Structure 1
């Protein structure tokens, strides 16, 4: 080995693995593209093997490059946990914290709790990333995120979860729909209805599909939304009905009064939202403190767990 492998080398390799593009990797790593290429070449020389295949059209990792990139993610995560453990001893919930959150929770919960979180923990620098569950899970496993706010269950044995709240589902109906005349809707009332859902990758799609399957409702396969707001607009256009999580409609107004919201009759379908982190994370105590803070400061529409 001609020279030592540094953490900087590993960070640059992970950036290339994430983007498969030297220009975007250089931007993400805040370095020039020629410097990035030189650093990757240094790493390859240090390890004595080719890690990246470069052509005019694309960038690919070699099989050994893929293995090294995965090990690099774990090493970088361990280094971050080491720094976090020292920081956590000094002051809980201070410094940088990278929180991932699913799109069906983030816009409806975080604006209501972040102001009080900042007042309570003024030294906390919170960085938020909103994404679908699968990608967030991979980022947490790789050490790019510290903790996640997800809908349960999350089938990952290396994670620890702290339940936060239960959230019921409601039905969004076009104004004048036959079910809008009722104060409550039962799952059986959805039989044979055309139900609009989110696109694949959203966990709320799977949860809504479970309700639809039980109620013999039909997914409108020709349409899949990218957000809950889009679903609501499509209901307003009388394309179908949909299910929404309660927090997304609490205090919200329907587009032009053209959407009516009805709760389910008990037992209401619901989901459980939890805070999730790597089981070996050095800041586990802080994450539990954050979970308790969130439970103590939930808005209407969320029922705290525990």
Structure 2
């Protein structure tokens, strides 16, 4: 048994397709099939039920997958630790980032990261908070940029910068005449994102609404939310980094009376061997956004 074949096993189990798994592994489908057959012969069990339409892990495979993932993760940790011993600021860092942050933060930080850490390649992965935390715990990501606290002794985090919220209003809205808007005033017609976005929960909490309320619209992206507000469909809370996009869409922005906002954090596994690289990435991002909250408020 070798590590390569265990990676092939995980690829087939995750993709539920020999074709997609082979593409992900960078090999031909016949080669992948042969290696899986050899692994089945070695283990003495059938790993997958194969049909013309789908590939499904057998109960035996399901029992083995946890051990396989742990073995591959430990092997990757050994390789990562060895790379860090040679050069802690080189190699790849897989960085998760929430969707309400990614389009606005990534353009600001990629050039500073390249200049400060030229031997480190940062690979972004966009997903909601729950998905990012799950991928952190399964070693699919090295770190994640989040806007909420992390729970569990298996994860560490550090705050990087504060991002204020702004009241986002349609042109001609009665509140647009105010210099400052009280959060409770937005509650009458506030629009929020779908469940799973931390910005949804933050918006409802700040404006004094419970999770069952928040207007009829459930937008899957902040861009959709901004366009609906610009069209006069309601109000919303706009994260400070998205202010430019909101104004481009035709939204009127006003500061909030309480100066409410969110803290963007970098989270990673407590035992991650790439701590030096992650701390360096965090330092660059924190430096790039230093003072942002004061300027945006």
TM-score w.r.t. length of structure 2? 0.90
- The answer as to 2:151 corresponding to 1:155 is yes
Report the secondary structure of 1:220's partner residue: coil
Q: Displacement of 1:68 after TM fit?
A: 2.2
How has the CA–CA distance of structure 1 residues 97 and 215 changed in structure 2, closer, same or farther, with 3 Å as cutoff? Answer: closer
- The answer as to 2:94 corresponding to 1:98 is yes
Partner of 2:279: 288
Partner of 1:242: 236
Partner of 1:298: 289
Give per-residue Cα distances to partners, 1:202-255, cap 9 Å, x unaligned: 22222223224448994123x222221111111111111111211111x44624
Identify the match of residue 174 of structure 2 among 171, 174, 178.
178
Distance (whole Å) between structure 2 residues aligned to residue 156 and residue 120 of structure 1: 31
Identify the match of residue 262 of structure 2 among 271, 282, 297.
271
Distance (whole Å) between structure 2 residues aligned to residue 242 and residue 33 of structure 1: 49
Q: Displacement of 1:35 after TM fit?
A: 1.9
| 1:97 and 1:127 in contact (8 A); partners too | yes
Distance (whole Å) between structure 2 residues aligned to residue 20 and residue 156 of structure 1: 31
Report the secondary structure of 1:195's partner residue: coil
Distance (whole Å) between structure 1 residues aligned to residue 211 and residue 25 of structure 2: 50
* Unaligned 5+ runs, structure 1: none
Partner of 1:199: 194
- The answer as to 2:36 corresponding to 1:40 is yes
| 2:201 and 2:211 in contact (8 A); partners too | no
| 1:247 and 1:302 in contact (8 A); partners too | no
RMSD of Structure 2 on Structure 1 (CA): 2.2
Q: Displacement of 1:149 after TM fit?
A: 1.0
Distance (whole Å) between structure 1 residues aligned to residue 139 and residue 167 of structure 2: 38
Give per-residue Cα distances to partners, 1:81-140, cap 9 Å, x unaligned: 212212222323211111111111121112112111111111112211112222222222
Q: Displacement of 1:293 after TM fit?
A: 2.3
| 2:166 and 2:238 in contact (8 A); partners too | yes
How has the CA–CA distance of structure 1 residues 289 and 176 changed in structure 2, closer, same or farther, with 3 Å as cutoff? Answer: same
Distance (whole Å) between structure 1 residues aligned to residue 26 and residue 228 of structure 2: 41
Distance (whole Å) between structure 2 residues aligned to residue 213 and residue 253 of structure 1: 23
Distance (whole Å) between structure 2 residues aligned to residue 214 and residue 185 of structure 1: 16
How has the CA–CA distance of structure 1 residues 302 and 9 changed in structure 2, closer, same or farther, with 3 Å as cutoff? Answer: farther
- The answer as to 2:215 corresponding to 1:220 is yes
* Unaligned 5+ runs, structure 2: none
| 1:185 and 1:264 in contact (8 A); partners too | yes
Give per-residue Cα distances to partners, 1:143-195, cap 9 Å, x unaligned: 2221111122222431111221222211211001011111111122124x222
TM-score w.r.t. length of structure 1? 0.88
Report the secondary structure of 1:129's partner residue: strand
Distance (whole Å) between structure 2 residues aligned to residue 217 and residue 159 of structure 1: 30
Distance (whole Å) between structure 1 residues aligned to residue 220 and residue 114 of structure 2: 30
